[in-house]
Amino acid sequence: MPALAAAAICIAVTQPSSPGEALEIPQMTLPALPKPGRVAASAAGFAPPGWKVERSVRADVDKDGRPDIVAVLRGTDKRCVIGNDGGGGPLDTNPRVLIAAVGAPAGYTLRVVNAAVIPRLEDPYMDDPLGEDGLTVSAGIIRLRLGVWRSMGGWGTSTNTLSFRWDGAHFRLIGFDRDYTHRGSGETELFSANYLTHRAKVTTGTIEDETLGKVRWKTLPARAVPTLDTIGDALEFAESQR
């Protein structure tokens, strides 16, 4: 199969000359991405030229007895790494792509290519949303965990976990958990949605509470449950579930 065509990722911009000036984020174009159905021997075989495998998990996610791979691919364009007067060190705005490929006799067959689910880091006062434990697989369930923490520009901090399970055709969202804290007031909220039962548990309290807080249950609206390849920006989805 021919190699994927390379493409420019970031267009260089003039950096701020002093603290307090607005940080201009480089314009970005994605390279040609692999299409579902492509076969490769490893996660690296799905990476566009100039990209790397940032992390990869090997597990049987479709329950057929063969090992599969779920991986995060990331650009390495140095023009996407910009000076950051407002935060801790250079800001790497290189985009990420989440892929899932199932085991096949000749390697792995690509099922999912999602360039939107992990948002591009563009806020100099925001920590990287994808932490060390941002991608895990357990008992066939893919869990994507994204955090929101800003040193400026917002009081809320949260950890959002989206859980996907293979349904025979797609990796469908089965659960969403959000742990939110307002750093000013100390108010907390734990939101746990089960899309198999269409119910959600909401626990509210404060960081000073010694008890679990107030619990209420809600019925989730009847609508199509997204899949890993259609969910879009996971943080925008998380906000829509509040």
pLDDT per residue as tens digits for the range 41-64: 999 999 999 999 999 999 999 999
Residue 157 has pLDDT above 70, yes or no: yes
Burial of 84 (0-12, 13-18, 19+ CB in 10 A): middle
Residue with the larger pLDDT of the pair 168 and 209 = 168
Here the tokens at position 21 are: 């000036």
pLDDT at 13: 52
Report the mean per-residue pLDDT for the chain. 87
In 37-186, where do the E strands start and end? 39-40, 51-59, 68-75, 81-82, 91-92, 96-104, 107-114, 130-138, 141-148, 156-166, 171-182
Residue 115 has pLDDT above 70, yes or no: yes
Residue with the larger pLDDT of the pair 240 and 89 = 240
User: What would the mean pLDDT of 162-175 be, rounded to a whole number?
Assistant: 96
The tens digit of pLDDT for each residue in 191-232 reads 999 999 999 999 998 888 766 689 999 999 888 889 999 999
| pLDDT tier for residue 27 given thresholds of 50, 70 and 90 | confident
pLDDT at 239: 80
Question: Domain locations in the chain?
Answer: 10-240
Residue with tokens 């490929």: 101
**Cβ atoms of 175 and 194 closer than 8 Å:** yes
Here the tokens at position 40 are: 């490769």
| pLDDT tier for residue 2 given thresholds of 50, 70 and 90 | very low
d(CA 123, CA 146): 15
Residue with the larger pLDDT of the pair 195 and 242 = 195
pLDDT at 241: 77
The tens digit of pLDDT for each residue in 169-186 reads 999 999 999 999 988 888
Here the tokens at position 120 are: 């591009």
Candidate from 111-120, 148-157, 178-187 with smallest mean pLDDT? 148-157
pLDDT at 19: 45
Residue 15 has pLDDT above 80, yes or no: no
